[in-house]
Amino acid sequence: MTSTPPAVRSPRSAGNVGVAADPEPRVDGARVLRTVEELAWFGADERGGVSRLGFSPADDEARRYLADAAREVGLVPTVDPAGNLIVRRPGARTDVPALLMGSHLDSVSNGGRLDGAYGVAAAWEVLRVLAAHDTPLRYEPVAIAFANEEGSLFPYPFWGSLAVVGQLDNPEDATDVNGASLRRPLRETGGDLDRTAEAAWPPGSVGAYLELHIEQGPVLERAGVTIGVVDAVVGRTIFDLVVTGRQNHAGTTPMDGRADALTAAARLVLAVESVARDRKLCAVATVGVLTIEPGVTNAVPGLVRMSAEIRDNRADRLATAEAAVLAEVARVDSAGEVDATVRAVTRFGPVPTEPALRDVITAAARELGLSHRTMPSGAGHDAQIIAAIAPIGMIFVPSRGGVSHAPDEDSDDAHLIAGAEVLLRAALRL
């Protein structure tokens, strides 16, 4: 793959924003696909996929490209002090709340071309269509590309959306994974590390937030359904577990005299899994980290540190599953062979979407003759942050094979276009 980024081409710049009286505005599906395609050039990874880490040079180029593209068609791009790229219609009304639409532009390392970028491309298109049609709207439509949602280079996930809701903690200390300050990269994007507080939107200024995203899971594809209406972004509890046994010689310690930290930890791994798989107390449960000390072939393991995380879209179920994990650890501990301790280190509650916005999205899908179903989001999104200041709605389209955060991440063109149409219809219904 060559790495020449695309210039802003003439099809996009054909004609400035004029006002037409079309009663049935539609998105230009080919244009949405082309924007997605062109964005994939920025940070194109030679292993396939995209590595466009937040506040990296590739990320910066992508936002410049999108800002130019907006300007070319008469829209008005600005960058807020936190580095969010915000686009408005010329003469945007300030006397009514905004209908904010968008997602993020940054990717994980060696991720796919659709996660985030698709929602941004569609929001750009919908804003362009709304700017070109004289449709009366209750809210002023505004498109936004949130900065650094993934937090892969600067480990502050949801940086941009947290700034919008005024919840960025100690931004001036922000450094990348190598310890370099965010100050210069942020300035290069048009932001200012000393003024990130000014990126916060005042209460009441956002009437609704809509985010279109690929599902990143297999549910819609398996069901043969085109549109997912998200009812909640799942909550998550992350635990640190420590199992302490007795390190000893693997050859001379008889089997009945051992305190093997790893075999006890293995029982815990299966117990955590069964909290979701067999007991169905929560949606998913995962042990993703396991470190063994001393980790050599000829010693009985003396210490194991492990993580466990559980997710569900209902707070009461999450609490029940949490208690079940604690009980499993207590059971292993009280068996007496080893000591087992557990601590919940991170807790995000589930964030429901706004029922009225779910209805609007459902009605939009129905109007377009698209199959749809209500479903939770298992992954985190900027929407869950924006929920602190505005009603949120989320639209999903199917992911091929349920693959995401990988170069193979893909969706059918027809699904990508359908999602953008639903976003436009939903905006018009508001």
Q: Which residues of this protein are in contact with Zn ion, per CB under 5 A?
A: 115-116
**Min dist. Cβ of residue 27 to Zn ion (A):** 20
Give the CA distances from residue 186 to residues 18, 159, 197, 290, in Å, rounded to whole numbers and listed in that order. 34, 12, 14, 36
| Beta-strand pair 98-104/299-300 | unpaired
**Min dist. Cβ of residue 302 to Zn ion (A):** 40
**Min dist. Cβ of residue 104 to Zn ion (A):** 6
| Beta-strand pair 299-300/339-348 | unpaired
Q: Enumerate the β-bridge partners of residue 311.
A: 236, 284
Closer residue to Zn ion, CB minimum distance, 38 or 382: 382
Token pair, residue 170, equals 């100690």
**Min dist. Cβ of residue 118 to Zn ion (A):** 9
Closer residue to Zn ion, CB minimum distance, 116 or 393: 116
Asked if 309 and 238 touch (Cβ cutoff 8 Å), the reply is: yes
CA dihedral sign, ordered 245, 250, 254, 256: positive
Token pair, residue 288, equals 């993703």
**Min dist. Cβ of residue 381 to Zn ion (A):** 6
**Min dist. Cβ of residue 151 to Zn ion (A):** 11
Q: Is the peptide bond before 294 cis (omega within 30 degrees of 0)?
A: yes
23 Cβ neighbours under 8 A, 6+ residues apart: none
Distance from C-alpha of 113 to C-alpha of 106, rounded to nearest angstrom: 10
Closer residue to Zn ion, CB minimum distance, 157 or 191: 157
Closer residue to Zn ion, CB minimum distance, 161 or 313: 161
Residue position matching structure tokens 């599902």: 215
For residue 209, give the nearest of 190, 227, 230, 188 by alpha carbon. Answer: 230
Closer residue to Zn ion, CB minimum distance, 324 or 387: 387
CB atoms within 10 A of CB 225: 19
**Min dist. Cβ of residue 191 to Zn ion (A):** 20
**Min dist. Cβ of residue 100 to Zn ion (A):** 16
Closer residue to Zn ion, CB minimum distance, 77 or 116: 116
CA dihedral sign, ordered 357, 77, 148, 169: negative
Closer residue to Zn ion, CB minimum distance, 216 or 313: 216
Closer residue to Zn ion, CB minimum distance, 116 or 160: 116
Closer residue to Zn ion, CB minimum distance, 116 or 171: 116
For residue 94, give the nearest of 209, 210, 204, 211 by alpha carbon. Answer: 204
Closer residue to Zn ion, CB minimum distance, 108 or 168: 108
Distance from C-alpha of 86 to C-alpha of 144, rounded to nearest angstrom: 5
Chain centre distance of CA 187: 24
**Min dist. Cβ of residue 416 to Zn ion (A):** 15
Distance from C-alpha of 242 to C-alpha of 71, rounded to nearest angstrom: 55
Q: What are the start-end ranges of the H helices in 98-137?
A: 117-132
- Does residue 141 sit in helix, strand or coil? strand
**Min dist. Cβ of residue 14 to Zn ion (A):** 30
